[in-house]
Copies of this chain bind each other. A is one copy, B any other.
Amino acid sequence: MSSDVETRTRILEAAVRLLEAQRGRSVRMGDIARAAGLSRQAVYLHFASRAELLAATTLYVDKRLGLEQRLAPSRAAGSGTGRLDAYIEFWGNYLPEIYGVARALLDAQANDAAAAAAWNERMQAMRDGCRAAIAALESDGRLAKRWSTEEATDFLWTMLSVRNWEQLTQACGWSTGQYIRRMQAVARRTFQE
């Protein structure tokens, strides 16, 4: 019975390994099965579909990397500005570690409605983090008047999207540090007054 859980974990480990190695591209169900030392059909005994496996993999990665602890500094920040900075720093450091898995789920969206739904759910959670940072700035009275909370959240959320991170770090060659510092600078200049 616990072998049930162990096998599931084995599949998730294999999925993470392959997805990170291939940056999320062209990893098939059969590849993951083979890497986990199972038949392809056995994977379907644990996950109903590729979308479900990918979604479970993102959750597994979040747990393994300690998402909650990593969010602590941002949540604990004393000021709105500090919270915004800490959130961007967290995000800029976190993204490279989940990129392969995120990329796979992102690619699956085009064909697979379930994958799109799973991705949206994750991004809504990330949006909540953005909103919290903006709300902290506002309660300090430092959110620039031109922005409402929702609109500022919209913009910050969009600016911090995985696609944008990908474009800046992969296509434009920004380092993690450059990404973080520049995003922090733009966010401060954009939202803060």
Contact = CB atoms under 8 A, between A and B. Distances in A.
B167 A161 contact: yes
8 contacts: A107-B110, A111-B111, A151-B172, A151-B182, A154-B174, A155-B182, A157-B167, A161-B167
- Interface residues of chain A: helix, strand, loop or mixed (majority): helix
Contacts of A146: 185
Interface string A33-49: 00000000000000000
A164 B172 contact: no
Question: Can you tell how many copies of this chain the complex includes?
Answer: 2
Size category of the binding interface on chain A: 20 to 34
Interface of A: 107-108, 110-111, 146, 151, 154-155, 157-159, 161, 163-164, 167-168, 172, 174, 182, 185-186, 189-190
B164 A158 contact: yes
Nearest to A120: B171
Contacts of A167: 157-158, 161
Contacts of A163: 161, 163-164
A120 to B, nearest CB: 8
